[in-house]
Amino acid sequence: DSGVTQTPKHLITATGQRVTLRCSPRSGDLSVYWYQQSLDQGLQFLIQYYNGEERAKGNILERFSAQQFPDLHSELNLSSLELGDSALYFCASSGQGSSYNEQFFGPGTRLTVL
């Protein structure tokens, strides 16, 4: 158990819909990262938050947005969903207790868009 929690574990929805994925980082970790894992794109970085502020952006679509709240949990919002958004979405955290700034991954949310 990495200490990072993600909900829900599975999500099935239809094209055009909007969903919210939730992540709670390890206790004390200030950084939260979101990654998308799909068969065609592999594992790619979407966005990072540090202590409530956006720190870095990767290959995140404009239809996607994220935020980190004062209690450090984070939410990834995906809107106008398309079939190609079906993927495993990981949240990772780093900070306190990580010697090399290694990232600890949550179990992921598997999103299926029908």
Partner 1 sequence: AQKITQTQPGMFVQEKEAVTLDCTYDTSDQSYGLFWYKQPSSGEMIFLIYQGSYDEQNATEGRYSLNFQKARKSANLVISASQLGDSAMYFCAMRVRQAGTALIFGKGTTLSVSS
Kindly tell me which residue out of 15, 44, 51, 112 binds partner 1, with binding defined by CB under 8 A.
44
* Min CB(16)–partner 1 separation in Å: 27
Asked whether 68 and 77 are in contact (CB, 8 A), the reply is no
Cβ neighbours for 100, distance < 8 A, ≥ 6 positions apart: none
Under rule CB under 8 A, residue 102 binds partner 1: yes
Under rule CB under 8 A, residue 33 binds partner 1: yes
Structure token digits, residue 100: 């090399």
Structure token digits, residue 33: 């990262």
Choose the binding region for partner 1 from 16-24, 69-77, 78-86, 87-95 (rule: CB under 8 A): 87-95
Handedness of CA 98, 9, 74, 87 (dihedral sign): positive
Site residues (vs partner 1, CB under 8 A): 2, 31, 33, 35, 42-45, 48, 55-56, 58, 88, 90, 92, 94, 99-108, 110
